[in-house]
Chain A
Amino acid sequence: MSLDAVPLIPLLAWATLVGVDLVTAPQGLLSRPLVAATGAGWLAGDVEAGIRVGMVLELFALDVLPVGASRYPDYGAAAIGAAVLAAGADRWAGLGAGAALGLALAALGGWSLQLLRHANTRALSGRTAALAAGDGSAIVRLQWMALLRDIARSITLGAIAIFVAVLARPVVSDPANGHWILVAAVAVGAAAAATAGGAVRSAGRGLRLKWLMVGAVAGTCWAVLG
């Protein structure tokens, strides 16, 4: 898939919505990797690939608790890049390489979020006197400039994700490039570990842990029996 074959404008628009959704507005699950990757897969013409790679990244994301000033990966644009890479590719290659690219891009996204927060802090320090005086226009200006900054961050991140995914396509398509099924198996195993480890850690020792275990047993039976 070359850059010409990718619906660049719709994907960039989707990446912007997804990126802004993470923290700025409206935090309505668009930035969840499952949603972001399925949307990107649909735009790139392969919904199934988007769902599969989105589900792997979603398992990683279920371990993240986005509270306060904590640092966490941004899976939005990462999931879009992963879906673009996986679209139309061999199933195992798309899954394995998509997950690997998604994790790397998620780290970049998390770092960009820290940069955005520092930029917001710098912008604020120049307007503390106006805020102390109750100047409403200073609040409005700060808010709109911050929104524009996050839009710029999201577009940039989306463009990088799509560009890297398109660049990596020949590697994924080349049949000489090893056993992608091994990479896919490791990706799925690590993703399951992320969800399970995070779930056990956050469950404590109460009712949630008990129900987590019941769910795991029921899920195993369901998986084995069909």
Chain B
Amino acid sequence: MRGRLRALTRLMVLQATWNFERMQGVGIGYVAMPLLEDLAIQDPARHAEAVARSSEFFNCHPYLAGIAVGATVRAEYDGVPGAQVLRLRTALCGPLGALGDRLFWSGVVPTVMAGTCLALVQGAGLAAIVLLVVLYNGLRVATGIWSLDAGYGAGMQVSRALANSWLTRAASRINPVAGFAVGLLVPKSLAWLLAGADRSFLAIAIVVGLAGAGLAFRYPSRATSFRFGLVTLVAALLLARGIV
């Protein structure tokens, strides 16, 4: 696969042009361009069409976008009709988005962030943060390489390859781990952050925490955690300054 290294590098800046019209589309085109260079020599007309198709609307989880790039580039080299390539792109948006969100945003990220917070609570210091960034970015790059190769290897059969890949199994396994890690983090971090404070302040934090969690659960769209945090903090600032 010529241009693979450049495509991998570009995969890391895929979302720079994220916009409301084509979402990741232009970014996908940017990643696909080095891989399509041979097509320009073989069939210049097809190459121009392929580049145009590659920058059409697309959106999925950024870490798994390489699968779509690899599969569609392979389909272009295999001479698959343009309309079919576009259908493949459209069909990949949902599964790659849902799977990536479930695996990374809901699974891996909460797990590693909670793990790092707990390590810091135990006195790990700056080294824990450095280790987190190095290991996570190693995983990020490895996923990018795998996704591009897996997509290119499968071409139009990418859906089957995706169903049999490690992604679905990993997403199922990481979710209970994420739940456990976050559950462990909440009381432990609360106790650590307020260590040394009078018990009455610990009680205030617990009451505020329970009230906020209850409101967020009961009214998820209106009482967002962000709004609750802002309102309670403004109230606490006013109280602390003796204004209320």
Grouping DSSP codes into helix (H, G, I), strand (E, B) and loop, the B interface class, with mixed when no group exceeds half, is: helix
**Cα of A216 to Cα of B177 in the assembled complex, Å:** 13
**A188:B15 contact, CB within 8 angstroms:** no
**If the complex has contacts A125-B21, A219-B183, are A131 and B226 also in contact, measured as CB distance less than 8 A?**
no
Q: Mark B26-41, 1 if CB is under 8 A from A, else 0.
A: 1101100100000000
Q: Which residue of A lies closest to B177 (CB)?
A: A211
The residue from A27, A38, A96 contacting B126, defined by CB atoms under 8 A apart = A38
- Give the one of A30, A96, A143, A213 with max B CB within 10 A: A143
**Cα of A133 to Cα of B48 in the assembled complex, Å:** 7
Q: Which of A2-10, A101-109, A159-167 contacts B (4 or more CB under 8 A)?
A: A101-109
Q: Mark A204-221, 1 if CB is under 8 A from B, else 0.
A: 000111111111111110
Grouping DSSP codes into helix (H, G, I), strand (E, B) and loop, the A interface class, with mixed when no group exceeds half, is: helix
**Cα of A222 to Cα of B180 in the assembled complex, Å:** 14
The residue from A34, A73, A223 contacting B188, defined by CB atoms under 8 A apart = A223
Does B153 lie at the interface of the complex (its beta carbon under 8 Å from any beta carbon of A)? no
Contact-residue bracket for chain A: 35 or more
**Cα of A69 to Cα of B23 in the assembled complex, Å:** 8
**Cα of A132 to Cα of B51 in the assembled complex, Å:** 9
**If the complex has contacts A219-B185, A219-B188, are A124 and B19 also in contact, measured as CB distance less than 8 A?**
yes
CB neighbours (8 Å) of B178 from chain A are 208
**B220:A201 contact, CB within 8 angstroms:** yes
B-contacting residues, A68-84, CB 8 Å: 68-69, 73
CB neighbours (8 Å) of A34 from chain B are 113, 116-117, 120, 129
CB neighbours (8 Å) of B213 from chain A are 192-193, 196-197, 200
Does B52 lie at the interface of the complex (its beta carbon under 8 Å from any beta carbon of A)? yes
**B205:A186 contact, CB within 8 angstroms:** yes
Interface residues of B (CB under 8 A from A): 12-23, 26-27, 29-30, 33, 47-52, 55, 59, 62-63, 97, 101, 105-106, 109-110, 112-114, 116-117, 120, 125-126, 129, 132-133, 136-137, 140, 175-194, 197-198, 201-202, 204-217, 220, 224-226, 228-230, 232-237, 239-242
A-B contact pairs, 21 of them (CB 8 A): A27-B15, A34-B120, A63-B216, A100-B233, A100-B234, A120-B18, A123-B19, A133-B52, A134-B52, A135-B51, A139-B29, A184-B197, A185-B194, A186-B205, A187-B233, A189-B208, A192-B186, A193-B225, A194-B216, A208-B179, A222-B187
